[in-house]
Structure 1
Amino acid sequence: MKKIVSLVLISALGGVLTLGAYKLFLEKENTVVVESSQTTPAFFPTSNINTLFNTTEAPDFVKAAENTVNAVVHVKNVAVSSGQMSLQDYFFGTTPSPQYRLGTGSGVIINADGYIITNNHVIKNAQKLSVTLNNNKTYEAELIGADDKTDIALLKIEADDDLPFVTFGDSDNAKIGEWVLAVGNPFNLTSTVTAGIISAKSRDISGKPGQTQSFIQTDAAVNPGNSGGALVNTNGELIGINTAITSQTGSYIGYSFAVPSNIARKVVEDIMEYGNVQNGVLGIRGGTFTSEFAEKENIDYSEGVFVDEVIKNSGAEKAGIKPKDIIKRLDNIEISKFEDLSGYIKTKRPNDVVHVEVERNGTRKTLKVKLSSTDAFTVNFIKMELQDLTDSFKEEYDIEYGVMVKETNNKWLYSNLGITEGYIITGINDTKIESIEDITKLKDEYGDDILDNIKKLEYINRRLERKEVIFR
């Protein structure tokens, strides 16, 4: 047995020695070659900043919310409308019972004396107004004034003690990407605070020429009942009045819009001082400068507002602004689109001076424009607002004289003759109408009886067709 084991061990040892000798002295060395690529990797700008935010650096909304919720109120309005006639009312000649409708919204206390800013649509047609504070105290409210164009209204309540209020911030200094809070009473849920960022500025959602809006757009959640509430920055300063939402359901799905605080403050100051809103007018017609428009005009593309026409007798005309100028800046505000211009002008009054930087033929110059009042170059006549034709308009359309309908609330003329914005009145009672001065003379001559004394009207429609109507 021992001989067998020894034989096995000797055989194994011999195999190991033979294999080792072969590897060491007889086997050829195989060299492995690795080819390296000489292509340079693409370069992408990369930030070395740690993207994990420290929780101590996250925005703190607590102080801003605490300072705002007590100054945001719940506004309730009661509107009364006549009820529909029933069959019983027709038979017995009775009057239907009035119907009461309750509307709700929000408002912001803007000083300790109880002045409250809200939206015009929150209090429109109200027969009775009440305001409930965050401490559940309720007061009757008085409507001081309202402006339909900016959708701003001013209320007043009488309280025994000074009231908490929110101070105005400068909405011109608000930045896209800045954190904001929306505070209001959605769905009758009082003192609700939501957070978001400013998504855009100078946003127009009207889609109507001549009625340009200039909203602050935010993604803070705003729902029915938030209207008239506060949009504040992280310092608790009022930078907007929440006004509208864009939604297919009527509730929040994405973006909300606020009237900038600089516009809202100017409106309420005008209401308190003058009883109405004092609108300053630059005196130009134009639009946002686009590359397509630049190609049509054969000029280099540039951001700004392209001046299409300069209104006769306006501050812009007197200052030397000309058609085809490109407005680049108003005072210290960069002008990229028409909404920037209209939003800034809405913070100004007639006779305010604005420094207008224009680009003309590749060079820039700054002109001092004294803003006009609309009364300087428009006149109200039979529920229409009329203005003079510019020289460039007359030349382009070969029209010698007339005044243009800027706005109209005359439903009879529209329904029966189609007269609306853009029509041109050329004659009344066989008198040639060359300017708004001729309209003013007619008003002075006939006074309140002007409608009864119009026997003949001559006008040009939008298709440049001349029309003549005789009233019998």
Structure 2
Amino acid sequence: MKKFSSLFLISLLSGATTLGAYKLAFEGNGYFSNTKNSIVTTASQSYGKNVGLSSEVLDFTEAADKTIHTVVHVKNVSRRTVSNPMLEYFYGYGGQQQQEQVGTGSGVIISEDGYIVTNNHVIKDATEIEITLNNKKSYTAKLIGTDSKMDIALLKINAEEKLPYSVFANSDAVKIGEWVLAVGNPYNLTSTVTAGIVSAKARNLDSNGIQSFIQTDAAVNPGNSGGALVNTRGELIGINTMISSPTGSYTGYSFAVPSNNARKIIEDIMEFGNVQRGILGVEGGELNGSASKELGIAQTQGFYINKVSKNSGAEKSGLQKGDIIVKLDDQNIATYADLSGYINTKRPNDKVQVTYIRDGKNKVVPVTLSKNEFFTTEFKGIELENIDANDKKKFKIDYGVKIKAITNENLLQYNEELKGNIILNIDNVKATNIEAVSKIFKDKDDSQSIRIEMINKNGEVFRIII
């Protein structure tokens, strides 16, 4: 009996030790802030590492079950007028006809009262938006707001019951190699689930350097745009946006807007009616072996400041040309996508701690972000600024930069004709905003001629070469 009691005690202690070791090994802590008065729900402080090879650790069923009921089918119906000159010529009628187009995608419910996040390209130009839940119930959705730069849109449906919804995780805490699930609802099927790992972070696929994607090898196909990328706990870490493919179908990689960026956009739309973008106030580029060699510096990672914008937070904080930004708050900065991705989670007047290298020494300075609309840039004696909401409405455009002033002596005689015009393209590249235009000009010098397409104050489009 004594021997049995000893064995029982040893077994009990072994079990307790095993359970304690399991908790230490597999239950980590992460950081997720809760935002009051927000439709966005964040995950609890339990961002764990589910890593290993056992079938128990790699069981995705709970995460899938949590997510499939929160992912919806999005149907976009748009109507456009098309001309039929043959009918008009022969019969005198039928010159104008209404044509209906239907597009589909996915979306993610983010609140029990029916707010849904999807991609902007899924609902672009829609005259009607229909949402079908995983239980096959359908609703007409209202468009609350969009952000074309980050390809995010916010919708709202009025359902009879409280809806299941996804909670937001901290996408900055996502690790390369971490297991993830991609969940979509394509072609009005019930939700579909694929699994993969995070292949890379801060991927920049946009020529303007706006985006900072999470890259994964979880299979995503057309129709899954706007769906959820979740961790193994079923928490939202991204909104699936695009695939990289020469055929239009999945061939290895897919990309998602990080949840921190999506969350900030949603909260901006709800609070301000539009997206509030903060600007650090620096221009330059990311370092690599060749760039560093050309600049004559040893550092091969980070963001090299080539220019500091006037009256910006960067200038007021003393940042200079030649400084190398290596960290923003606690986020390491190795590429331009790292920098732009982190700044895109901030608003004007937010403060960030900028760690930079100057003369071989690390320095830290707080920088207050400025508002994007206040920024200007200048090239070849033409000062440019971002267009505002009135310009967009007046000319029925959603991008462009306005000519604020002319200082070029050769162009001064055309000052009245050029001032106030809106530039749409520079050398066949869209002039989406000041950031994009600055990047275009960075690769050119004053000796190069450039072709500019613009719209004048009368709404007429014309081109000039300077």
Q: Distance in 2 between matches of 1:463 and 1:335?
A: 33
From 347, 368, 385, the equivalent of 1:370 is: 368
Q: Which residue in 1 is equivalent to 2:447?
A: 463
Structure 1 residues 254-263 or 75-84, which shifts more?
75-84
Please report how far the alpha carbon of residue 187 of structure 1 lies from its aligned counterpart in structure 2 after TM superposition: 4.5
| Structure 1 residues without counterparts, runs of 5 or longer | 1-52, 379-386, 390-398, 411-418, 434-438, 444-459
- Counterpart amino acid of residue 133 in structure 2: L
Structure 2 contact 75–129 (Cα < 8 Å) conserved: yes
1:312: how far off?
Answer: 1.1
SS across alignment from 1:83? strand
Say which of 343, 360, 370 aligns to 2:358. Answer: 360
1:422 to 1:301, Cα distance in 2 relative to 1, 3 A: farther
- 1:104 matched to which residue of 2? 104
Distance 1:289 1:429 in 2: 38
Q: How far has the Cα of 1:60 moved from its partner?
A: 1.5
**Residue 216 of structure 1 aligns with which residue?**
214
Q: Describe the SS at the equivalent of 1:167.
A: coil
The runs of 4+ residues in structure 1 deviating greater than 4 Å are 404-408, 419-424, 427-433, 464-467
Check the 8 A contact 1:186/1:225 in 2, yes or no.
yes
Aligned to 1:41: none
Q: CA contact under 8 A between 2:375 and 2:385: conserved in structure 1?
A: no
Match of 1:319 among 317, 320, 326: 317
- 1:404: Cα distance to partner? 4.5
Residue 166 of structure 2: aligned partner: 166
1:384-418 CA deviation, whole Å, 9 max, x = no partner?
Answer: xxx357xxxxxxxxx7x65247799x9xxxxxxxx
How far off is 1:425 after superposition?
A: 3.6
Instruction: Give how far 1:205 is off.
Output: 1.5
- CA 1:461–1:197: 2 relative to 1, 3 Å: closer
Equivalences for residues 27-426 of structure 1 within 5 A: 55-91=54-90, 92-206=92-206, 208=207, 210-378=208-376, 387-388=377-378, 402-404=382-384, 425-426=406-407
Cα deviation code 1:207-258 (max 9, x no counterpart): x2x3432000000000000000000000111000000001111010000000
Residue deviations 1:310-357 (CA, integer Å, cap 9, x gap): 111111111111111010100010111110000000000000000000
The answer to whether the Cα contact below 8 Å between 1:312 and 1:388 also exists between their aligned partners in 2 is no
Q: 1:462 Cα shift? A: 5.0
Secondary structure at the aligned position of 1:320 is classed as coil
CA deviation after TM superposition for structure 1 residue 94, in Å? 3.4
TM-score by length of 2: 0.73
CA contact (8 A) 1:242 1:256 kept: yes
Deviations 1:106-164 (A, max 9, x none): 00000111000000000000010110001100000000010110000000000121110
Which protein has the larger Cα radius of gyration, Structure 1 or Structure 2?
1
Query: Is the Cα–Cα contact under 8 Å of residues 187 and 224 in structure 1 kept in the other structure?
Result: no
What is the TM-score normalised by the length of structure 1? Answer: 0.72
Shift of the 430–255 alpha-carbon distance from structure 1 to 2, 3 Å rule, reads same
SS at structure 1 position matched to 2:196? strand
Q: Whole-Å Cα distance in 2 between the matches of residues 145 and 165 of structure 1? A: 19
| Shift, 1:186, TM fit | 3.3
CA distance in 1, matches of 2:271, 2:401: 34
In structure 1, C-alpha distance between the alignment counterparts of 2:194 and 2:124, rounded to whole Å = 26
Give, in whole Å, the separation in 1 of the partners of 2:281 and 2:414: 28
CA distance in 2, matches of 1:139, 1:301: 55
Which letter does structure 1 place at the counterpart of 2:310? Answer: K
Q: Tell me, in whole angstroms, the C-alpha distance in 2 between the residues paired with 1:168 and 1:112.
A: 14
SS of the equivalent of 1:265 reads: helix
Q: Percent identity?
A: 52
How far 1:287 moved relative to its partner? 1.1
Q: Is contact 1:423–1:462 with CA below 8 Å preserved after alignment?
A: no
1:155-199 CA-partner distances (Å, limit 9, x unpaired): 000012111000000000000000000000235433000000000
Q: Aligned in 2, Cα 1:463/1:188: closer, same or farther, shift over 3 Å?
A: farther
Residue 81 of structure 1 deviates from its aligned partner by: 1.2
Q: Which amino acid aligns with 1:126?
A: A
- Distance change (3 Å), C-alpha of 1:465 and 1:114: closer
Q: Secondary structure at the match of 2:82?
A: coil
Q: What is the CA–CA distance in structure 1 between the aligned matches of 2:450 and 2:237, rounded to whole Å? A: 49
SS at match of 1:150: coil
Number of aligned residues: 368
CA distance in 2, matches of 1:273, 1:420: 26
Amino acid at match of 1:145: G
Q: CA deviation at 1:377?
A: 2.4
Deviation at 1:267, TM superposition (A): 0.6
- Given the superposition, is the C-alpha separation of residues 315 and 138 from structure 1 closer, same or farther in structure 2, using an over 3 Å criterion? same
Quick check: 2:73–2:187 contact (8 Å CA) kept in 1?
Answer: no
Q: CA deviation at 1:364?
A: 0.7
